[in-house]
Chain A
């Protein structure tokens, strides 16, 4: 199975900060990776697909990059509504696997 190691697990930041979340795959997954945002009590929402493609309607302050084994999600200027938990998902090989999540909290 491909392991997705997501870091950090917790991140404390302020409105306006630039933050980066990383996912490392235990083996190459090309660009078969998505990023998801989940708020408490809600279903996840996909932000990024194929590692760097921004979902329609998602603000441009979100961006994704990477290929192979290392991927990043960057939020260029945090807004109050961005405080949530973020997950990566690899869908290159079975079983598909999520990272363990990054909880982004207000400093």
Chain B
């Protein structure tokens, strides 16, 4: 069974940093693209970033370019999202998902950016 478990969310001040993690199991992690998607409170889904199976290609939504970095450790079946210079508008539940087409999703981790 495919399982994705996010962690690392929390309360951070504007301008601060957080690193989200996603632990994957139940499939061969190193052969799949992985994605991050977020959902602000009461709002719709927003695609954030994704990364090729070997880490050689990474793509981002414009609003996070230069601030967020997606990465992965295939030896540890883990996906990461380093978030720097956080803004209030980054407040959201962050989900990791398998594949570019988001086949399976984790339960999400809440990031709150507030002073």
Binding site for B on A (CB under 8 A): 1, 32, 34, 36, 38, 43-46, 49-50, 55, 87, 89, 91, 94-101
| Interchain CA distance A55-B101 in the complex, whole Å | 12
A-B contact count (CB 8 A): 55
Q: Is the CB of A98 within 8 A of B103?
A: no
Smallest CB–CB gap between B97 and chain A, Å?
8
C-beta contact mask, B89-110 vs A, less than 8 Å → 1, else 0? 0000001000011111111100
| Interchain CA distance A32-B102 in the complex, whole Å | 12
Smallest CB–CB gap between B78 and chain A, Å?
18
Give the size category of B's interface with A.
20 to 34
Smallest CB–CB gap between A53 and chain B, Å?
10
Which of A46, A50, A96, A100 meets B47, CB within 8 Å? A96
Interface presence of B54 (CB below 8 A): no
C-beta contact mask, B36-61 vs A, less than 8 Å → 1, else 0? 01000000111100100000000111
